[in-house]
Amino acid sequence: MNYAYTIRDKVGENELVMMQIANNTPEQAMLGDFPKAVDDAVMDSNEAHHNQMMQLLSDPSKATGFARVVFDLLKMVE
């Protein structure tokens, strides 16, 4: 779900696509710039996630801090 929100936010930055979404049915929007905008957002997110992964794997203090954040998030689920 979080990944879908990430892609939504990135696509939402594209004014042309947002105009197409506002003024068309989903089927019509799929014929416009929307599919490419989603593809572009997916590719951009991959690069961002890769950069984050490399930072965590190369810096033990960042990895420890990130692990603590994940731990705290999991404790909230209990």
Average the pLDDT over 13-26 and give the result.
96
DSSP string, 36-65: HHHHHHHHHHHHHHHHHHHHHHH-HHHHHH
Residue numbers of the domain that contains 8 = 2-77
Question: Using one digit for the tens of pLDDT, what is the confidence trace for 1-14?
Answer: 788 889 999 999 99
Q: CA–CA separation, 60 vs 53, rounded Å?
A: 12
Domain count, the chain: 1
Structure confidence at residue 39 as a pLDDT band (50, 70, 90): very high
Global pTM exceeds 0.75: no
Structure confidence at residue 48 as a pLDDT band (50, 70, 90): confident
Q: What is the pLDDT of residue 70?
A: 86
